[in-house]
Structure 1
């Protein structure tokens, strides 16, 4: 089964109102996508559960109506349905009188476990795999009443196959949360006289920036006065305490109507934060001593592996690497790479690209590369993420928190990081002179300045969105870098505005795609690369002659022949190699304004989650 989800978990033990901490934390995780929500609160006499289908506002009103006494420990969850439809009964937490749990992931053998429990007289109310787990834990609590909750939990988990991040609350220990991680991300937050559990950093930022990442198989016992860690073998261990370089304000809208628009406008700052620390005396410096110039010279082939938007960044990276360094490079969708038995050599390099550092298929691709003794370089945005910890080398992108589901600034800094890598690789291998390396690095450093006018004046893009707001389909075409940008522009448009959109290599139009062109359909033609400019213009004319309305994105210095385009968007002069950094901004804005005008939920599009952490 393949399920696209990233539910939210929050836990709290401390001195504040657990109800308020949980609701606030869940609100900060709304961007992950959900269809229901719930909390379990430790109260005198037992655990009280309140949950509901729908948005968090529904849950908040139910809690207010119950007027519960103060609780100082609890767990909360936002659910994206996998097993069982969205409903109150299928929502988390799932509970018995003794234990309550919240769960991200999939219990693969829940069918046999449920059958075994039914044979023992256990009853079920929901259709979920999570209820099977809570009933299994409860069964071991009852079967051996003298054993500790910790022992019962371990005994139950020993029977489970699958992936999970768990928050578990026992009636016997109303001040304690058990947090368990297996192939699904989970962190704990450190406070003063209070501690936290969460599936992502934004849930913590109102209260603390100090956190620890649970490693594979870890269990954390979280109380108000401390946190204990145990590894997969039950051995007590220490885990590093990290400090988030974000604050709560960075995870807020800051006066913008949507996170997506804020994040588009944050791109110049993200470029500076990512590029500047990796430039020394005008030269690119990866700041990875182990990835020396000597090591770079020994690389035979490069495999860039990612999903979605990150894969589109990889396509730009591939072209830059091959053009500058003349090293063969391939781009793979992670879910395909891991199953096609790729040909890998220990002298190759696999570059894994992921905003969250937790993408399930990408993480599996990394493990495959490691199993073949191929070194892995990770390009990720989250310090301490699973991919960052598993890779041999890491290049962090300093985009800060990206809350909108549609990635914008994370994509931008992925591009910048791949360009820096390509520059250093080409220089190390003698393919770029020092002078040319310095020139390209200087051009990259001023990328934020170059895109600023695109952000300051959006009127033409707003106008174009208003002209095509009612279109049913849209097509993007381009060649080379422009084809990679066509794919990303098309993805942005369809994921947030729900307009059917496809992107094609412009040269492929005549091989079948042109049959889809009908009167009035918009065709967005990207033509920023001089070598193939005339060919792309010719392809645009072909669509125009069949009734398409052509929006042409090109540079200021070219002459556009009469009758080729209905609308022309001119980009400022910039190095052609780096033009994707400028071109992507109006494409992001076009998708954004289309979605706004169509009344769509820009930050949380339907059926999508920010990250995909289960298969």
Structure 2
């Protein structure tokens, strides 16, 4: 599931809904739709094309209303097809399968309803007609079944029956000035104000409301919200079993949030991913702005007290963020001398682990709304590990609100599904955490601190020099575009960078790619090496260089083609079968931040050469808010 927008006011709200969907396109989606209450009846437009086509469709069909909901869907239950696209309508007893008699309720939903099969069977027995394969449709029918003249009451009652994660926006045919929302395990915000200061909005992301209102209310887990022109009402359901849950009125602060719409303009670049790769020098500079010394206060007022109570670190993350955490493990153990584990969030919460109250739980997330990572964080806290910190790119996200400490990166809006600048800014934040813990543990001398800070300040210039290598990478990409498989090798600190490079290539070019520690080559992957299997090698001039050169010779002896990202002083020479790009300088511990950039460019230009949809790769979503 991906994007929600809803609104109620006095003007035609459809253009606002469609523009909100456009601002959420970066999340990825495979269908979209809008529903309104018009002339006393439910009307909707749905499409498996882009939001621009949906906009034209709503104009052609004369969709016009002061109340409506809209959605971009990333398929989970049911194929990407119009009949599975949101919004969904209720189809009660007497409805027909041709959908000629839409019911009373329209609903959009992010998340996954885990007990949808049992609810579907129950509602079918009551005469409800299902026209989709989605889990979402059961919510629309359930609200309709429970409705007795008060939509707010019906939604509250329906949420008691749902197991799983949801953010929903719903309206009813008989209440023409009311939209109701609810959230549990999936993000939902409310906007206040609008054109005449009486409009109310729902959205899954404040970005959707950029240019409409900057007055935002962040709804909390268990909140149900009633939106009407000029007013809103929030109630909160306390956790616990349904029969013991208490519902109370809730006050949520209205915050001024500036969602920079200009950040999503493409400018002179061909794709957002290319733009974001080239924004990395500025993103790193912004992320490090104001860092004059290594101090716990970089992570919050309570940081020094928290850091004094920890003996180890546990990093929880998914995807690209997991690889940034894997890189940080090397830093934390070698520089700060603190034991560190890195876990894939979706695995951690479902296995038996040994909790330690003196562990610092570090979550990493670009959006701060990643469902698996949020759930893993809550699981860790339930085990008694209360020392929590997040590295996150969104200051107002659930992750930042849930953790005691935070370092908010300043990568800006990242539109391309394949993360680039969020990754490198995460590494910058994690390196600051490493230095802070090292200093507190007596492992960082003043001279070393000054040297590290000097290197960090030089990162933007160093990144600019790496970006100048783009023409050489483009030549590599022409060769890669004709391949179906690739291997990536790295050692030590750069093994996670090889993993990240392989992930980028497979995400956007659809070339199968795997990464291995180079020392593992002879333990299996070498069997795959032929002239048709390009082998990308990350080769910094570090203590493992000579070992890495031996691994490279193993590839050449089997006829493999090597593509080497090498520091200038590694003495690795280009020759037939060995293609070398020389990095401008060796950067010591911070080398991963530089070495990942050619791998990002390789994936990007290979995808361009293959003609894939770079910014919106198939089957992937930007913000993964479901398990």
Q: TM-score interval w.r.t. the shorter chain?
A: over 0.9
Rounded Cα–Cα distance in structure 2 between residues aligned with 1:32 and 1:282: 35
Kept in 1: contact 2:491–2:519 (CA 8 A): yes
Q: What residue number does 2:68 align with?
A: 74
Check 1:566–1:574 CA distance in 2 against 1; reply closer, same or farther (3 A cut).
closer
After TM superposition, the structure 1 = structure 2 runs for residues 272-421 of structure 1, keeping only pairs within 5 Å, are 272-277=285-290, 279-281=291-293, 285-292=297-304, 295-374=306-385, 375-421=387-433
- Structure 2 residue aligned with 1:230, among 232, 235, 245? 235
Give 1:577 shift.
0.3
Give 1:63 shift.
2.1
Rounded Cα–Cα distance in structure 1 between residues aligned with 2:261 and 2:255: 16
State TM-score, norm by structure 1: 0.94
Asked if 1:90 corresponds to 2:92, the answer is no
Rounded Cα–Cα distance in structure 2 between residues aligned with 1:203 and 1:423: 37
- Structure 1 residue aligned with 2:500, among 475, 478, 488? 488
- Structure 1 residue aligned with 2:216, among 211, 220, 227? 211
Rounded Cα–Cα distance in structure 1 between residues aligned with 2:285 and 2:383: 36
CA deviations over 1:435-481 (Å, ceiling 9, x no partner): 21121022112211110122244111111112322111111101011
Q: What residue number does 2:455 align with?
A: 443
Q: What residue number does 1:149 align with?
A: 151
Please, which runs of 5 or more residues in structure 1 have no aligned partner? Answer: 1-5
After TM superposition, the structure 1 = structure 2 runs for residues 564-603 of structure 1, keeping only pairs within 5 Å, are 566-603=578-615
Rounded Cα–Cα distance in structure 1 between residues aligned with 2:306 and 2:179: 46
Kept in 2: contact 1:481–1:580 (CA 8 A): yes
Q: What residue number does 1:55 align with?
A: 50
Rounded Cα–Cα distance in structure 1 between residues aligned with 2:539 and 2:74: 40
CA deviations over 1:560-597 (Å, ceiling 9, x no partner): 25759621111122431001111111111111111111
Tell which deviates more after alignment, 46-55 or 400-409: 46-55
CA deviations over 1:312-347 (Å, ceiling 9, x no partner): 000111100111111111111111211222222111
CA deviations over 1:481-500 (Å, ceiling 9, x no partner): 11111000110011001111
Tell which deviates more after alignment, 582-591 or 242-251: 242-251
CA deviations over 1:172-214 (Å, ceiling 9, x no partner): 2222211110111111122333232111222111322331211
Give 1:160 shift.
1.9
Q: What is the SS of the residue equivalent to 2:368?
A: coil
Check 1:460–1:383 CA distance in 2 against 1; reply closer, same or farther (3 A cut).
same
Q: What residue number does 1:525 align with?
A: 537
Q: What is the SS of the residue equivalent to 1:85?
A: coil
Rounded Cα–Cα distance in structure 2 between residues aligned with 1:254 and 1:15: 35
Rounded Cα–Cα distance in structure 1 between residues aligned with 2:229 and 2:531: 65
Check 1:282–1:43 CA distance in 2 against 1; reply closer, same or farther (3 A cut).
same
Equivalent pairs counted in the alignment come to 603
Tell which deviates more after alignment, 124-133 or 443-452: 124-133
Tell which deviates more after alignment, 280-289 or 120-129: 280-289
Give 1:75 shift.
0.2
After TM superposition, the structure 1 = structure 2 runs for residues 503-514 of structure 1, keeping only pairs within 5 Å, are 503-514=515-526
Kept in 2: contact 1:283–1:438 (CA 8 A): no
Rounded Cα–Cα distance in structure 1 between residues aligned with 2:545 and 2:119: 61
- Structure 1 residue aligned with 2:165, among 154, 158, 163? 163
Please, which runs of 5 or more residues in structure 2 have no aligned partner? Answer: 91-102, 238-245
Give 1:363 shift.
1.1
CA RMSD between the two structures: 1.8
Rounded Cα–Cα distance in structure 2 between residues aligned with 1:473 and 1:482: 21
Rounded Cα–Cα distance in structure 1 between residues aligned with 2:141 and 2:324: 44
Rounded Cα–Cα distance in structure 2 between residues aligned with 1:181 and 1:85: 25
Give 1:39 shift.
0.9
Q: What is the SS of the residue equivalent to 2:535?
A: strand
State TM-score, norm by structure 2: 0.92
Rounded Cα–Cα distance in structure 2 between residues aligned with 1:84 and 1:520: 37
Q: What residue number does 2:241 align with?
A: none
Kept in 1: contact 2:565–2:582 (CA 8 A): yes
Rounded Cα–Cα distance in structure 1 between residues aligned with 2:516 and 2:436: 31
CA deviations over 1:408-430 (Å, ceiling 9, x no partner): 01101100000001011111111
Kept in 2: contact 1:544–1:564 (CA 8 A): no
Q: What residue number does 1:172 align with?
A: 174
Give 1:87 shift.
2.3
Q: What is the SS of the residue equivalent to 1:286?
A: helix
Tell which deviates more after alignment, 577-586 or 123-132: 123-132
Asked if 1:422 corresponds to 2:434, the answer is yes
Rounded Cα–Cα distance in structure 1 between residues aligned with 2:321 and 2:253: 28
